[in-house]
Structure 1
């Protein structure tokens, strides 16, 4: 894309003896196919339901494309990792246990044979993440992949808005922005825009991109977010950024300056544009409709009051389409309880708590701030969105957070020989040390 935002180079620092150290955290640059596989995983999670498109696309075709993307992502991940080297982590272990729980709940076919297909999809999804976990090294590699791919997803949305504004802002959705070239709902667009805005802001604060490169991502994404009128995504962006920036305040002057400017701008907006902000936030809804969270509370009450067996309470009814009585559940925790039972709820809660606990224990850094933002966003969005218990963008967000929380390598000074300086990237693990002695993981500049 030619954006400075996508720079992956790492700075070097000389030590006291004149040796040049690689302060990066990666033993080797990941193959380009790793980014391609990550993009295909994102394509798979876009789903097949959404607004009407300008050129009608059969749902079967969309499902074939998204499922084909998942299979291709798994094959690519296997191709670049034929030796099946993985990086174990608490996140992947708990996600694998969630897969087992999903298979157990779906094996009784209470939700039909479709539940087994969804388990197979989740199996490929988790398998691809295991294969890609080899390159989870605490660096910002997957943050850049995440931003790049979701920005590419938003480009057709912006193009559709230009080509056919009426179709992109349909009355059926209350004038909210939808995808009219590829079927995307307002909450989906809002989520993608909010996530890449937050991550790009953090990269800019951490001086890992230029202001121009950041503006190219942030400005159009913010416009799309505003046009979706998605309250959950907006609150997740604001609260997640506040927590992430707060984690950097004690160690970063740029973070302190950014936080101060945000506070000032927030006060100005609250005083001068309170009426417009209230109108945008309510989206023309009545107080009763707003209080019931656009009707969600009625579905939640019906689901919780329905009679269930002990087995259904523990294991759920199997993976489904995240609906109850023909209506969307729109709450991750209730959807998990319905489909994977209390066991699924416990496993997903453990994923969030473990990632959050690790993030709190890490020393202040930009990767840690990005992880805090992603975890916070997923927790906030889980109240009115589904996805934490199945293959979804939210599990990809948490996967990026897990890749950021891997303990980084410590730079070890190596004296440079006379006449030429050498830069060595030392491995961080016993396995990496063994492969380094063979040559592939040792990078000599």
Structure 2
């Protein structure tokens, strides 16, 4: 697309060749696979078996499409993908015992196919922004389905079961999922605007409705994670970008004024009607965490876990990626996941300042913060897809795929749909 080649006068360096549409479609199918099948009651009841058929079918389709577009099996070396593949070892060792049931083997197969698809797509991991734009568009479409559900049936979209928090009324999405998707695309859209890969008018088309949905979802972890990750990402651009310095200054001033003027409203939103004692116990999560850590385990279970499950313990959600990985893949799996963050973080720190590096820092930081109250780092999930996107941004450009870059006047602002897709 011509819009994918949009650059500013200051951005005159070589640009990697565009990502094929089939590869971007495979990425979208991976995103569909990790949307999940459990959530709120939808306006039109959808059998869970049908949802699982759609999500699993999308994974098979993603692998098939990636294989078709990369029939030569050309891949790029990636420490992140190597570690993700290594994570399959404790997953298989713990799952073959069937302690977690046959579902553990099914989840292992799903993770294997997920990782294999990422390996096939790694051919186009060249530090370009093609997958970033696809990521934004994909989750923006998902969020528009949430908006449609809210418009059709506000009661179903904000049920009492979830304390009046926004859920997916057309597709079963939980408030934390909505918070996660909104936080990620807000951060990426802001960074693209700061890097002049899109205009602020276009970015606001994504940011404003997403911010409204984030507030309606009352997701504290996503909000805090987004703000901290954006500070770190923009901070990485301060020395080289005047736009980043101006935005950071105005954001600090505006945030301080808003915190003073709307202090009581912000406190009420953050507490969500809960007591401070309940909040300090992380809304009851600490009870599950303590029980998980105190449970007796054999040496094999400590090393390799009990097998991939539904991320629950004693019938209650674990809601912590590190404890979930420890429970399912043991200390070995926990060490592998920690190595992923160390490798990605280390590479990001060693890269020179750039928009790609800032986007990667944002994604790594956001996933790291969210991992404290959300599970998903040990299995096929949106969090692993975010980290895969960060890995693609940190990859060195291919030496034989550079194209000349046309300069575009700074004042030129094309339509938003052609700049964020």
TM-score (norm 1): 0.88
| CA drift at 1:408 | 3.1
C-alpha spacing 1:29/1:22, structure 2 compared with 1 (3 Å):
farther
1:121 alignment partner in structure 2: 110
Asked if residue 312 in structure 1 is aligned to residue 301 in structure 2, the reply is yes
Asked if residue 375 in structure 1 is aligned to residue 371 in structure 2, the reply is no
| CA drift at 1:315 | 0.3
Structure label with greater radius of gyration: 1
Matches within 5 A, 1:319-334: 319-334=308-323
| CA drift at 1:364 | 0.3
2:3 alignment partner in structure 1: 7
- Give the SS at the match of 1:172: helix
| CA drift at 1:7 | 3.5
> Quick one: distance in 1 between partners of 2:216 and 2:8?
42
Structure 2 stretches lacking a partner, 5+ long? 406-421
C-alpha spacing 1:108/1:213, structure 2 compared with 1 (3 Å):
same
| CA drift at 1:25 | 3.2
> Quick one: distance in 1 between partners of 2:200 and 2:238?
20
**Contact 1:25-1:409 at 8 Å conserved across structures:** no
> Quick one: distance in 2 between partners of 1:410 and 1:248?
25
> Quick one: distance in 2 between partners of 1:287 and 1:11?
49
1:418 alignment partner in structure 2: none
Question: For 1:229-265, what per-residue CA distance to the aligned partner results, in whole angstroms no more than 9, with x for missing partners?
Answer: 0000000100000000000000000000000011001
Q: Which has the higher contact order (CA 8 A, sep 6+)?
A: 2
> Quick one: distance in 2 between partners of 1:362 and 1:224?
34
Asked if residue 178 in structure 1 is aligned to residue 174 in structure 2, the reply is no
- Equivalenced residues, count: 405
| CA drift at 1:310 | 0.6
| CA drift at 1:120 | 0.4
1:233 alignment partner in structure 2: 222
- Give the SS at the match of 1:33: helix
Query: Paired residue for 1:73, among 62, 75, 78?
Result: 62
C-alpha spacing 1:194/1:13, structure 2 compared with 1 (3 Å):
closer
C-alpha spacing 1:365/1:295, structure 2 compared with 1 (3 Å):
same
Question: For 1:288-343, what per-residue CA distance to the aligned partner results, in whole angstroms no more than 9, with x for missing partners?
Answer: 21111111000000000111111100000010000000000000000000000000
Query: Paired residue for 2:85, among 88, 96, 105?
Result: 96
Asked if residue 389 in structure 1 is aligned to residue 378 in structure 2, the reply is yes
| CA drift at 1:409 | 5.6
- Give the SS at the match of 1:49: coil
| CA drift at 1:169 | 0.7
Question: For 1:193-226, what per-residue CA distance to the aligned partner results, in whole angstroms no more than 9, with x for missing partners?
Answer: 0000000000001111012210110011000000
**Contact 2:182-2:210 at 8 Å conserved across structures:** yes
> Quick one: distance in 1 between partners of 2:76 and 2:401?
22
2:133 alignment partner in structure 1: 144
Asked if residue 282 in structure 1 is aligned to residue 271 in structure 2, the reply is yes
2:188 alignment partner in structure 1: 199
**Contact 1:331-1:384 at 8 Å conserved across structures:** yes
- Give the SS at the match of 2:113: helix
Q: For structure 1, which segment, 250-259 or 265-274, has the greater mean C-alpha deviation from structure 2 after superposition?
A: 265-274
| CA drift at 1:11 | 4.1
> Quick one: distance in 1 between partners of 2:78 and 2:340?
11
TM-score (norm 2): 0.93
**Contact 1:331-1:386 at 8 Å conserved across structures:** yes
CA RMSD of aligned residues (A): 1.9
| CA drift at 1:24 | 3.6
> Quick one: distance in 2 between partners of 1:158 and 1:7?
27
